[in-house]
Amino acid sequence: MQAFLEFLGGGLVQFGWVGLLVYFLIATQLTIFSVTLYLHRSQAHRGVDFHPVLAHFFRFWTWLTTSMITKEWAAIHRKHHAKCETEEDPHSPMHKGIKMVFWRGVELYREARTDRESIEKYGKGCPDDFIERKLYTPHATMGPTLLLFISFALFGLPGVAMWALQMAWIPFWAAGVVNGLGHWWGYRNF
């Protein structure tokens, strides 16, 4: 019973709070890099090309930590720029409302994913290889589910709490703060 309680309290690694904090900061920073550098700069805007190994790491990490599909994310973002602050903008706080974009941005993303015509139109040039077709796209939710099990195994119940924070990190900061508040309060289309 004691071993079980120790496992629940700290998992396989038994990190203290400093170790947990360091892991959390590294993991969330990798997620931020994956979204901002890979999905945004590389895939949506084609502003940078990464070495194939690094590009695949970013694809894997976004699948594991966000369940976002590269082609869908890039297409939705490209459409957002093409139709910015119009009725067709998938996440315009001017048309959807700041509360909707800030608190329910994930729902707007999921809704935009169902517009397959737009995904095909705006998603050109994104990865379409074997692993994308057989794992990442059809099993998008498997990534965060796998991360939950890994987090629990490594860190016990604190790992579950960190996983929950990781799941909220990108929706809150990227969708809510950057897209929501940024466009609502300070966006200028030059």
User: Which is more confident, 86 or 138?
Assistant: 138
pLDDT, tens digit, 9 for 90 and up, residues 52-85: 999 999 999 999 999 999 999 999 999 998 998 8
C-alpha–C-alpha distance, residues 117 and 80, integer Å = 15
Domain count, the chain: 1
C-alpha–C-alpha distance, residues 61 and 55, integer Å = 10
Question: Using alpha carbons only, what angle is made at residue 35 by residues 167 and 98, rounded to the nearest 5 degrees?
Answer: 70
As a whole number of angstroms, the longest Cα–Cα distance in the chain is 64
190 in any annotated domain:
no
User: Which is more confident, 103 or 51?
Assistant: 51
Q: Which domain holds residue 11?
A: 2-185
- Model pLDDT, residue 94: 79
Burial class (CB in 10 A: 0-12, 13-18, 19+), 3: exposed
- Model pLDDT, residue 78: 95
Annotate 36-51 with b (16+ C-beta within 10 A) or e (fewer).
ebbbbebbbeeeeeee
CA gyration radius, the chain: 18
36 in any annotated domain:
yes
pLDDT at 189 over 70: no
- Model pLDDT, residue 102: 78
pTM: 0.88
- Model pLDDT, residue 186: 63
175 in any annotated domain:
yes
- pLDDT mean over 94-115: 86
12 in any annotated domain:
yes
pLDDT at 176 over 80: no
163 in any annotated domain:
yes
